[in-house]
Chains A and B, each alone.
Chain A
Amino acid sequence: MMPIPRCGHPNLGLGVGLRTVHFPYLLQHQPEVDWFEVISENFMDSRGRPRDVLDQLAERYPIVMHGVSLSIGSTDPLNLDYLRKLKSLADAVQAKWVSDHVCWTGVASRNSHDLLPLPYHEQSLQHVVERIRIVQDVLQRQLVLENPSSYVTFTASTMSEAEFVARMAEEADCGLLLDVNNIYVSSINHDFDPFEYLDAIPAHRVVQFHLAGHTNLGTHLIDTHDSHVTDPVWELYRKAHLLTGGASTLLEWDAKIPPFPIVHAEVMKARDYMSSALGSYRSRPANDQLQANSTVPHPATAVFAEVE
């Protein structure tokens, strides 16, 4: 049987990550945007403006929910209260799908609010697969998981991240959110070929792509989401598009966020990379300037009060 592309999900087109600084612009201008992705944790408990804005946008645009605290790889028990809230938000805004990351965020009842990498071996694979099944049962929908950027690897790993992600998706029957920038960032940090990574991913399980900017610190790259997408990442996107036949594509911009039209224009560039001709980033000067400033990797999204 031919596998169904995108696990049966629609290709929503080119979307933008919803950020609070853009709320007034979006409500006032109602721009033509294919879809929005929201950070689940910023809305699941909100009974104020963030939730009201989301409800208004959900009437007009398709919404996808993207979480940062599921902690699918943690050895702490799953937080059922969190999962129930996630489900009720997904139902309320008719989320097209719900995603999170292949990572753990904390253990011993703590949350580092970071996407911490797992060692990739049989034990961690079985652990994650089992937990995905439970989450999918509770949410009553297929989970979509994203490859994170990482800055360490473990000597205990017995397989590559791409192999882990591929086997995880097949065994747990979940979807994948392929963050093309994360693949690139990790490929530099861990010295692997990002194109080979793409080849190892089951293309039909890719439900969505992420694009974002990163910061080059010379010795390593950091996934800062604070600038334009770099050329090598666009070239990877070109190949990912070719392999999958296209999937919903979303731009994340989380720090030094420019006005909405600039963020939107950035994701619209993706159309230029949907042609079949493969470029070669190796022969091209990358727009990847060295940065010396201090940097905070994604995620750092919190919502702050508006006071009269």
Chain B
Amino acid sequence: MADQPPQPLDVIQRWMQSVIVHPAGVAAGIDSASHTGEIEQGADRVDELICRSRAQTSIERLEVYSNAYKARLIEVLIGEYPAFVHALGEEAFVGLASGYLEVHPPASYTLGELGRFFADYLLETRPPNESEDGSPDWADFLIDLARLERCYSEVFDGPGIEELPPLDAERFRHLSPEQWITCRLVAAPCLRLAAYRFPVHEYASAVRHQQEPESPIAQVTRLAIHRREYVVRRTTIDAIQFGLLTRLVEGASIGQALEQLIEANSQAVVTADELSAWFRDWAAAGFFIGLAT
């Protein structure tokens, strides 16, 4: 035990953290800290700071923390991105996740934040698309899969509609044409609309059901991702439904949303019957929780 005054606590904490999170390992971390930090001891003198035990050197003891740091965080990412891991393979994923953790080290009190920027990281570090016609490639598939799995996490644990009374689909029937055009819908807080370049939802579900899905062929896929009874649900929607829902969620009235949709796509032909069926389905599915007339 020490007879000299100890290193200030903040100094020893910054040192230990930098050592155990160093990507090249503990010994490299100690040497790197000795060049730049407030602690001069290199790897050969680390037992001046950390006691050795009967069976382990000081470096081996620090390695318990450094191994645990990486293993624990990667385990959490594997839990959040199971389909992505299945697609890439666990070994390659560990390499990729290690790079991610260097750029986005954990900073929150909750592990729920750990994977937040994973898809962004993939986008920033992706290899160039090598397909001749610029069609979506393997990296696009992986990025979309990561976006979907992160969306699942956020919808699963975010605010939902379970405690709210359902929006009565019959209310749409009783609106006058005038009310119908001007009314706005209040979207459920758990509703997300997302477009992907592959049917990533099918791949993700297959993995979650312990199947061995083939890598899918590119195909534009639009999803409404939502939650009912605390379980994440996803519904495929077509381009017109996607456009309409997106505008409604952004706060447009039904009339405005339809108008914009026709402006953007003169081919869009939707009958009044189709429209009212959609709205009933969306209300029943819990996409919307209120009507403001």
Contact = CB atoms under 8 A, between A and B. Distances in A.
Interface of A: 41-42, 44-50, 52, 69, 73-75, 79, 82, 104, 106-114, 116, 118-119, 121, 123-124, 127, 151-159, 189-191, 218-220, 222, 294, 296-297, 300-308
Given A52-B230, A220-B55, A305-B157, A296 B71 contact: yes
22 contacts: A45-B110, A49-B157, A79-B109, A107-B13, A112-B69, A113-B111, A114-B65, A116-B13, A121-B6, A123-B8, A151-B61, A156-B12, A157-B1, A157-B2, A189-B53, A219-B60, A220-B56, A220-B61, A302-B79, A305-B153, A305-B156, A308-B234
Contacts of A152: 50-51, 58, 61-62, 64-65
Given A47-B157, A49-B230, A304-B153, A154 B12 contact: yes
Interface stretch (B15-23, B135-143, B170-178, B259-267): B15-23
Contact of B111 (A50, A79, A157, A302): A302
B271 interface: no
Given A127-B9, A152-B64, 4 more contacts: A41-B111, A48-B227, A79-B109, A110-B107
Interface of B: 1-2, 6-10, 12-14, 16-17, 20-21, 47-51, 53-56, 58, 60-62, 64-65, 67-69, 71-73, 75-76, 79-80, 82, 105-112, 114, 149, 152-153, 155-160, 162, 204-205, 208, 227, 230-234
B65 A151 contact: yes
A294 B205 CA distance: 29
Nearest to A50: B157
Nearest to B205: A307
Q: Of B72, B152, B234, which is in contact with the most chain A CB atoms at under 10 Å from its CB?
A: B72
A45 to B, nearest CB: 6
Dominant secondary structure at the B interface: helix
Contacts of A308: 205, 231-234
B17 A106 contact: yes
B14 A307 contact: no
B17 A112 contact: yes
Contacts of B111: 41, 113, 301-302
A22 B81 CA distance: 21
Contacts of B110: 41-42, 44-45, 69
A302 B160 contact: no
Given A119-B12, A158-B2, A303 B157 contact: yes
A42 B157 CA distance: 10
Contact of A41 (B20, B109, B208, B232): B109
B72 to A, nearest CB: 5
B107 A109 contact: yes
Contacts of A220: 53, 55-56, 61, 64
